[in-house]
Amino acid sequence: QTVVYHMTDTLIKLMAPILSFLAEESYDHFKGKTAESVFLLSFPKVHPQWRFSEVSDRLTKVLEVRSVAQKKLEELRNSLKQL
């Protein structure tokens, strides 16, 4: 339950600037309300104990590979358009 609480709390705060009405409605039904509105809360901060450098390093490598793959795919698409 603790994990679900933290996930819900954080996701509602993160989506507030983008999906304002959905965030506000979700917050109205949230059991852990600490303010009248989601917009009166501060933006969530990452807890230091939740930082995993090895996961971050792996994700960085995955994103680099993704970037290279996207460039190659775009080149292939462009070459097919010329046919």
Q: Which two tokens stand for residue 21?
A: 């009405």
Cα–Cα distance measured from residue 10 to residue 2, given in angstroms and rounded to the nearest whole number: 12
Q: Rounded distance, CA 25 to CA 68, Å?
A: 40
The confidence score (pLDDT) of residue 66 equals 97
Output the tens digit of pLDDT for each of the chain's 83 residues. Answer: 889 998 999 999 999 999 999 999 999 999 888 899 999 999 988 878 877 888 888 999 999 999 999 999 999 999 998 87
Q: Residue 81: its pLDDT value, please?
A: 87
